[in-house]
């Protein structure tokens, strides 16, 4: 699994807000390296309009900087070319749900619901197509946690949790440490959400699970400490 792809997984934002008001997903500037990569990817796509990998990579860069319309264009082209490719579907789906949260006019409420449901349907289809793909599982966990049950089945998080926890230590060690750290962070965030929804009992199972996953995340990657602190503040 390439280092560049892992960097996008690690940078996969979790600040999802849905409801009557539009979500605030401020666009952030590209790094110099990303600007160069965008230019290279666009050149590759111009030379080969059916280069799915380049389209998905381009969409990932836009997605990570909340340039959601640009990301949608790239992911939609990739999805049209490879409708049965799991990761392409998952990225298109998670961007679609985020687009639903970013809709500005209040009267677009139906569009918001449809967008989120379409996105989740695509992610669920991706899991069904490639049930052993850890990236797709992680995308679903983070998307569902961000949605907090809105227009989606939050309990699928625990199906994805089981995918990881049912594996042996040897199998888990085959995953990149950065990827596993993000899995543990995402699961910790899921349990933190449950803890806050169910009375904030300091002795609760949900709080203990969240704390355990935060510890595992730090053990896998010390660079996630800032994210760990943010989640721990919810506990």
| Structure confidence at residue 8 as a pLDDT band (50, 70, 90) | very low
Helices (H), the chain: 3-10, 32-47, 52-64, 68-81, 86-101, 109-129, 134-147, 156-165, 169-172, 177-197, 205-220, 225-232
* pLDDT given at position 11: 45
* pLDDT given at position 15: 36
Residue 6 predicted with pLDDT over 80: no
Q: What is the pTM of this model?
A: 0.87
Mean pLDDT of the chain: 86
pLDDT tens digits, one per residue of 51-104: 999 999 999 999 988 899 999 999 999 999 999 999 999 999 999 998 887 665
pLDDT tens digits, one per residue of 10-32: 444 433 333 334 456 778 889 89
* pLDDT given at position 106: 52
Distance separating alpha carbons of residues 165 and 172, to the nearest angstrom: 9
Higher pLDDT, 103 or 181: 181
CATH topology of domain 3-139: 1.25.40
32 and 114 in contact (C-beta within 8 Å)? Answer: no
Tokens of 71: 């990301």
* pLDDT given at position 131: 96
* pLDDT given at position 12: 45
pLDDT tens digits, one per residue of 188-217: 999 999 999 988 888 999 999 999 999 999
Mean pLDDT score, 174-197: 92
Distance separating alpha carbons of residues 207 and 228, to the nearest angstrom: 14
Percent of the chain with pLDDT over 70: 86
| Structure confidence at residue 108 as a pLDDT band (50, 70, 90) | low
The DSSP symbol for 234 reads T
Domain ranges within the chain, ordered by starting residue: 3-139, 167-235
The structure tokens 């990570």 sit at 64
């Amino acid at each position: 699994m390439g280092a560049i792809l892992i960097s996008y997984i690690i940078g996969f934002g979790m600040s999802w807000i849905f409801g009557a008001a539009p979500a605030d997903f401020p666009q952030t500037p590209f790094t110099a390296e990303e600007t160069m990569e965008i230019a290279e990817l666009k050149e590759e796509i111009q030379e080969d309009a059916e280069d799915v990998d380049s389209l998905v990579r381009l969409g990932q860069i836009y997605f990570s900087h909340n340039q959601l319309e640009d990301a949608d264009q790239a992911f939609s082209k990739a999805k049209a070319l490879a409708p049965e490719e799991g990761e392409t579907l998952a990225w298109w789906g998670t961007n679609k749900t985020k687009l639903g949260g970013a809709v500005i006019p209040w009267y677009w409420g139906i569009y918001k619901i449809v967008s989120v449901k379409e996105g989740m349907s695509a992610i669920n289809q991706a899991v069904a197509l490639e049930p052993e793909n850890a990236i797709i599982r992680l995308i679903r966990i983070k998307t569902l946690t961000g949605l907090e049950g809105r227009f989606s089945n939050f309990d699928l998080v625990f199906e994805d949790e089981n995918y990881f926890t049912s594996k042996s230590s040897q199998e888990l060690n085959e995953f990149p440490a950065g990827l596993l750290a993000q899995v543990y962070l995402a699961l910790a965030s899921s349990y933190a959400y449950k803890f806050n929804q169910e009375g904030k009992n300091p002795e609760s199972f949900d709080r203990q699970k969240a704390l355990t996953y935060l510890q595992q995340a730090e053990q896998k990657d010390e660079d996630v400490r800032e994210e760990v602190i943010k989640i721990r503040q919810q506990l």
